[in-house]
Structure 1
């Protein structure tokens, strides 16, 4: 029976059907097995990548601290911002960019920590403890369902993060031209820094949800890098906001 009025098309279709019928079933089974057994994203795999990224952050932060490379603060901040945007908006997962981001952010953290520690002895230890305590509290809240990461929560957080990001860029530009810390040097600086701490802390819940959902749905294994990047970036942001808030309180 003809499939089309075009005899060439009919011949091609018949040839394809005959070849498909003659194909060894073992070849089909092998191909199906290859597709279904491809590596999937897991919580354990993501946790391992988070740990690896933090080793990179700690290594470059330590080098910056002990070698006194505080002059790299501003360049590292700009480069880190660029790498972070690249990793965030790239359609392809880029592990090399993510690792480079962690390394540059380590330089930034080492420089800013060294400067603030010289001005306010003990502030770095307090900031580290507060960061991990806050992250632990957020994980517990997520784990026990005290914070529900639903569509409404995600939408509110998205708008809040966009608004805060615009504010941060405007304040950075103002600080660069005015030579001071912008709004953080005003009487409302502590309040703005507190809002930053809150946003960074609640962003962790979005990262936890991304890891759990990605693992549950069996996303491709390369998504572990994207999830690890998100969690690492949020923890770095949380530390920066906390140490800034502590520095403001120490000025009074």
Structure 2
């Protein structure tokens, strides 16, 4: 692999297309295909089915957490989900186990934070869910119709933008220990709303990478467990998108 090609590879630890190359090559290197053993490969339809299963599991725990709001559920789900994602990132083979665990934990987080916002803003959860699904199907249409093609340059740009957002969030988290916040981040006013819209745009673009990696996994002949890995990546993006839309609606509501 050339340095130029390596530079344009996705830096996302969960949805990097490099992970699909590696998983597929490991199967071949092990000699499983040549030994006559049946090797199940990843398919787009399989990844879609796994995504639906994870979504249903997350919805179940989210409903429970929403009906029984508890900071332990919200923070425990967020921290636990992060730990599980890190494990899956380093060991994709564990995805059939870690992906459902992640979905359950993330549901606790989503339900808890939704309940928090719902107490302050009536109807905000329904609006956020509707807009999230609207963005999802819009990006899916743009991808499937070929209106937006995921090239190496686009992938690199999206991942750099995602990395920049992550660094801003990390900085805001660290400064929070000293009672300081990054200016305008999740604050009311035109600038704050503009920043939220920009972050939502980056999250929406990440959906393109998720869709593309579903196709890449099948194209590369990745092993079956990568369906769970791919489904978890999609759920991660959808949760991020939902939380950002939830915050944006809250900003608009606070300006009324």
Please state which band the TM-score falls in when normalised by the shorter chain.
0.7 to 0.9
Q: Using the alignment, how far apart are the partners of 1:125 and 1:66 within structure 2?
A: 15
Q: Which residue of 2 aligns with 1:215?
A: 218
Q: Using the alignment, how far apart are the partners of 1:94 and 1:171 within structure 2?
A: 31
Match of 1:193 among 191, 196, 206: 196
Matched ranges for 1:1-252 at <5 A:
32=34, 34-35=36-37, 37-90=38-91, 92-178=93-179, 183-185=185-187, 187=189, 188-252=191-255
User: Conserved in 2, the CA contact under 8 Å of 1:197 and 1:238?
Assistant: yes
Give a deviation string over 1:2-28, Cα, whole Å, max 9, x none: xxxxxxxxxxxxxxxxxxxxxxxxxxx
User: Conserved in 2, the CA contact under 8 Å of 1:70 and 1:115?
Assistant: no
Give a deviation string over 1:108-152, Cα, whole Å, max 9, x none: 100110011110000000000000000000000000111110110
Q: Which stretches of structure 1, 4 residues or longer, exceed 4 Å deviation after superposition?
A: 179-182
User: Conserved in 2, the CA contact under 8 Å of 1:73 and 1:107?
Assistant: yes
Structure with more relative contact order (C-alpha pairs < 8 Å, separation 6 or more): 2
Q: Using the alignment, how far apart are the partners of 2:144 and 2:223 within structure 1?
A: 24
Decide which structure has greater helix share: 1
Query: How many pairs are equivalent?
Result: 222
Q: Using the alignment, how far apart are the partners of 1:195 and 1:132 within structure 2?
A: 18
Q: Which residue of 2 aligns with 1:14?
A: none
Q: Using the alignment, how far apart are the partners of 1:151 and 1:72 within structure 2?
A: 39
Q: Give how far 1:163 is off.
A: 1.3
Q: Which deviates more, 164-173 or 81-90?
A: 81-90
Q: Which deviates more, 110-119 or 183-192?
A: 183-192
Q: Give how far 1:32 is off.
A: 4.6
List runs of 5+ in structure 1 lacking aligned partners: 1-30
C-alpha RMSD over aligned residues: 2.2
Give a deviation string over 1:46-73, Cα, whole Å, max 9, x none: 1111011111111111111112224432
Q: Using the alignment, how far apart are the partners of 2:80 and 2:178 within structure 1?
A: 20
Normalising by structure 1, what TM-score? 0.81
Q: Give how far 1:189 is off.
A: 2.4
Normalising by structure 2, what TM-score? 0.80
Q: Using the alignment, how far apart are the partners of 1:64 and 1:176 within structure 2?
A: 27
Partner of 2:36, secondary structure, is helix
Q: Give how far 1:186 is off.
A: 5.7
List runs of 5+ in structure 2 lacking aligned partners: 1-32
**Which structure has the larger Rg over C-alpha atoms?**
1
